[in-house]
Amino acid sequence: GDPGSSVLYDKITDGGVYGGHMPPEIADLLDPENITLVQTWITELASGLFPQQADFSYTLAIPNATLDENQGEIRIEIGSGDVSDIAGNPGPTDDKEFTFIYDNNPPGAVEVESITSPTNEDYPLIKVTAYDTISSGDNQVKVRAFIGEDTSPSNQIYLSEVSTPLAPFRQVLIDGDKDENTSLHIIYNVDEDDNPIHLTDGNLLDGLLYENLILVFEDNAGNDSILNVTNMTITPFRIDRTAPNPYGTGLDDYDGISYSLTHQLIGQVNDIYYNVDNITDGIDYNDYFWNLASGQVRVNVSDLPTADIDNSILGGTIHLMAKVDDENSSIVNYVNMAQSEVITADHLPPNPTDMFDFSISEEDLGGPDFAEGDSIIYIIAVITDLAGNVYDHITSPPDVISITIDTIPPAVGTINLETDINDENNSVAVPGYWNIDTDKVTVPLGDLSDDIDTYIEHGKVQLRGSINSGDWEFLASHQLITDENITDFSIVVTDSGGLNGPDNTTGIEEIPDNWDAAVDGAIIEIIARIYDAAGNYRDWP
């Protein structure tokens, strides 16, 4: 045909150069000197542009129902000579086999073990499994995580299948075997150096509740299964790294927990001693002493934070810590005491129906010899919330109970008695006698200051009297040992009614049931019981 209208000419001249030669003019294509070049162009173009002319194809339609019952590898075989072309030529020359994987079932993703809630872990763990009948080998199932309403890329977070060190990835590969459980660390993000960034707790005492974690499991066929809170396949969890605030530090509406101590009463002589006359700087706890008779410290703890301040302590624990130290109340050397108790709703305001009663024994504190010297017992209640957070007592030390140890009794001494008479002029005062006009006796004790018993001040002196070795009766009211009288102490007992005391105090003539002629010749004995501030005492005859 006319070379000027040839499609082949258009192909071989497209671009201006082919095979390193400029194409000849149309009128010169068939000149003898150009025939070999043109033949070469035609051969090359034909082999490169039209190879599909030797191919054949066939579309095989297989119903879904057929394949649904045959998940996995599908093989289609064409036997040798089974296919003929339009001219009747059989083919192919050899058997042909075509294979593909049919898989339209997503992985069977399951939350095996939920994230502990609340938790203070920086990178909490969730345990999952994703059984897939087809993608069942090692690292066959892809897992991606999202925090948010959907699985858009902006909501994607990181996962790590290993703990030490963490290896944050946008996607991790897990096994698809039905017996394989995988623990995954949840990581919010990474910084510019690929260091992990943890989920926030919102700096809230209760922590921050996460109800929007989404896990997407994808098999090799691209089938997805999703675990999330909406379809109740993932359990919500709370991140709480903020310690409880049991001492009211920085809070306007809470003053902190309260302590009360059980002190020595009749029948409870092994408790600590409470000196009501020893208030030091207005701090009541300084009025408690461990003395010679003490064997335990009983502590009642109440006034825990209200639920609206920190509900995360519900289900947490409370226990006592203590140390024996004469320096300061630092938390460093404290050790755990007594058994931890679980905090229930009954312990929390506004209407608590239960309180915590703890007992610390002498053995807990170190045995019988722990109380040597003028040391101090420090006791503190420690609250651990349900997430495991504990108040930082080192950088923010709270008020603590302090109990002074004093097991040294007052010094040994003796007393003298000085009697006085009234103005009725029926007799004269005679040392060692109580006669018709005697109305009081003075008991001088002299200097009570003691370098050994350093807590003698704020103690007291109580006189006791007996007639003819009978029962001992307390005489008059006790008298306090103060900084004003400690170096020249004396105490006076009158005939009746005590010393400036109420009428029910006992005077000398009230020791027996009846003061009459029958007491003539009787022997009156008086001793002074001297107590130090800690309640240790010694009798001076």
Are residues 89 and 44 part of one domain?
no
What is the phi/psi pair of residue 446, to 5°?
75, -145
Rounded percentage of the chain residues whose pLDDT exceeds 90: 31
Task: Assess if residue 248 is contained within a domain.
Answer: no
CA separation (Å) from 492 to 141, 264, 420?
95, 28, 10
User: How many Cβ atoms sit within 10 Å of the Cβ of residue 194?
Assistant: 10
Helix/strand/coil (H, E, C) string of 509-540? HHCCCCCCHHHCCCCEEEEEEEECCCCCEEEE
- Bond prior to 124 in cis (omega within 30° of 0): no
The pLDDT value recorded for residue 161 is 93
Q: Give the residue from 335, 331, 305 showing the smallest Cα distance to 392.
A: 331
Among 107-116, 246-255, 371-380, 473-482, which range has the highest average pLDDT? 107-116
Assign residue 120 a region (left: φ > 0; alpha: ψ between -120 and 50; beta: otherwise): alpha
Among 49-63, 160-174, 487-501, which range has the highest average pLDDT? 160-174
Q: Give the residue from 382, 303, 305 showing the smallest Cα distance to 338.
A: 382
Q: How confident is the model at residue 385 (pLDDT cuts 50, 70, 90)?
A: very high
Q: Using CA of residue 479, residue 485, residue 491, residue 496, what is the dihedral sign?
A: negative
- List the single range of 172-176, 217-221, 369-373 with lowest mean pLDDT: 369-373
pLDDT reading at 503 higher than 60: no
Locus of tokens 């957070």: 389
Are residues 428 and 398 part of one domain?
no
Q: Using CA of residue 269, residue 272, residue 276, residue 278, what is the dihedral sign?
A: positive
> How confident is the model over 90-103, as pLDDT tens digits?
888 899 999 999 99
- List the single range of 157-161, 269-273, 397-401, 519-523 with lowest mean pLDDT: 397-401
pLDDT reading at 483 higher than 90: no
Q: Using CA of residue 390, residue 395, residue 401, residue 406, what is the dihedral sign?
A: positive
Domain end call among 405, 438, 453: 405
502 vs 496, more confident: 496
Tell me the mean pLDDT in the region 129-141. Answer: 90
Domain end call among 371, 405, 439: 405
| Beta-carbon contacts of residue 86 (< 8 Å; ≥ 6 apart) | none
Rounded percentage of the chain residues whose pLDDT exceeds 70: 82
3-state secondary structure of 374: coil
**Max CA pair span of the chain:** 178
Are residues 322 and 275 part of one domain?
yes
What is the phi/psi pair of residue 66, to 5°?
-65, -45
Tell me the mean pLDDT in the region 111-116. Answer: 96
CB 134 within 8 Å of CB 219: yes
DSSP code string of 309-355: HHGGGTT-EEEEEEEEESS---STT-EEEEEEEE--GGGSSSS----
Are residues 524 and 387 part of one domain?
no
CB 215 within 8 Å of CB 144: yes
Are residues 282 and 400 part of one domain?
yes
The pLDDT value recorded for residue 304 is 86
The pLDDT value recorded for residue 137 is 83
Task: Assess if residue 59 is contained within a domain.
Answer: no
3-state secondary structure of 64: helix
pLDDT reading at 145 higher than 70: yes
pLDDT reading at 374 higher than 90: no
- 182 DSSP β-pair partners: 128
Are residues 303 and 343 part of one domain?
yes
Tell me the mean pLDDT in the region 405-424. Answer: 86
> How confident is the model over 432-464, as pLDDT tens digits?
888 888 888 889 999 998 777 888 888 999 999
Are residues 194 and 272 part of one domain?
no
Are residues 384 and 264 part of one domain?
yes
Task: Assess if residue 205 is contained within a domain.
Answer: yes
Q: Using CA of residue 119, residue 125, residue 129, residue 135, what is the dihedral sign?
A: positive
Tell me the mean pLDDT in the region 126-141. Answer: 92
Q: What is the number of structural domains in the chain? A: 5
Tell me the mean pLDDT in the region 492-512. Answer: 71
H or E element in which residue 228 lies: strand 224-228
Task: Assess if residue 253 is contained within a domain.
Answer: no
Task: Assess if residue 168 is contained within a domain.
Answer: yes
Are residues 453 and 363 part of one domain?
no
Tell me the mean pLDDT in the region 201-226. Answer: 93
The pLDDT value recorded for residue 326 is 61
Are residues 536 and 476 part of one domain?
yes
State the Cα–Cα distance between residues 415 and 540, nearest whole angstrom. Answer: 6
Are residues 71 and 44 part of one domain?
no
Domain end call among 349, 375, 405: 405
User: Do strands 141-147 and 156-160 pair parallel, antiparallel, or not at all (unpaired)?
Assistant: antiparallel
The pLDDT value recorded for residue 276 is 78
Alpha helices in 239-278 (DSSP H): none
The pLDDT value recorded for residue 41 is 66
CA separation (Å) from 193 to 124, 198, 199?
21, 15, 18
Q: What angle do CA 200, 205, 206 make, to 5 degrees?
A: 80
Tokens for 11, please give them: 């192909």
Among 301-305, 454-458, 485-489, which range has the highest average pLDDT? 485-489
Q: How confident is the model at residue 118 (pLDDT cuts 50, 70, 90)?
A: very high
The pLDDT value recorded for residue 88 is 85
H or E element in which residue 365 lies: none
Are residues 469 and 367 part of one domain?
no
The model's pTM is 0.70
Alpha helices in 53-146 (DSSP H): 64-68
> How confident is the model over 325-361, as pLDDT tens digits?
766 656 777 888 878 999 998 888 877 888 899 999 8
Task: Assess if residue 411 is contained within a domain.
Answer: no
CB 279 within 8 Å of CB 286: yes
State the Cα–Cα distance between residues 197 and 287, nearest whole angstrom. Answer: 50
Q: How confident is the model at residue 51 (pLDDT cuts 50, 70, 90)?
A: very low
Q: Which domain holds residue 338?
A: 258-405
Task: Assess if residue 224 is contained within a domain.
Answer: yes
CB 233 within 8 Å of CB 211: no
The pLDDT value recorded for residue 49 is 52
Task: Assess if residue 410 is contained within a domain.
Answer: no
- Bond prior to 165 in cis (omega within 30° of 0): yes
Tell me the mean pLDDT in the region 410-417. Answer: 87
Residue type (1 letter), 417: L
User: Do strands 141-147 and 213-218 pair parallel, antiparallel, or not at all (unpaired)?
Assistant: antiparallel
